[in-house]
Amino acid sequence: MSTKAPSSVKESPADALEKIAYGVIADIPTREPNDRNRLGYCLWIWLKDRQGTLEQAIRHAGVRSTVAEDEIVQLVRQRLDEYEKTLPRS
């Protein structure tokens, strides 16, 4: 029996919304990696659909962190401002 080589992974472009969302929250301290993944996913959904507010998206993620939720919102908002030029216009 032989094992196939793993599938190749295509890197997403730097201006892709998912890359931006996960890059923005990459160093926010969370209790578990899944908390960070949930936060990144909720941020990506918010960037894609723009339904509700950023605060609602972060609250919806239910992230468990050593940082207060208001600070997370402030950090995310500040980092999104840095990416503003690369965000696609809707």
Model pTM score = 0.80
Paired tokens of 2: 């032989």
Kindly give the residue spans of alpha helices, DSSP state H, lying in 10-52: 17-24, 33-49
% of the chain at pLDDT higher than 90? 66
Domain containing residue 72? 17-86
- Is 59 inside any structural domain? yes
Domain contains 36: yes
Does residue 6 form part of some domain?
no
Q: What is the pLDDT of residues 12-40, one digit of tens each?
A: 887 888 999 999 999 999 999 999 999 99
Distance CA 59, CA 5 (A): 40
How many domains is the chain partitioned into structurally?
1
Question: Tokens in use for 83?
Answer: 């990416």
The helix (H) or strand (E) run that includes residue 59 is helix 54-61
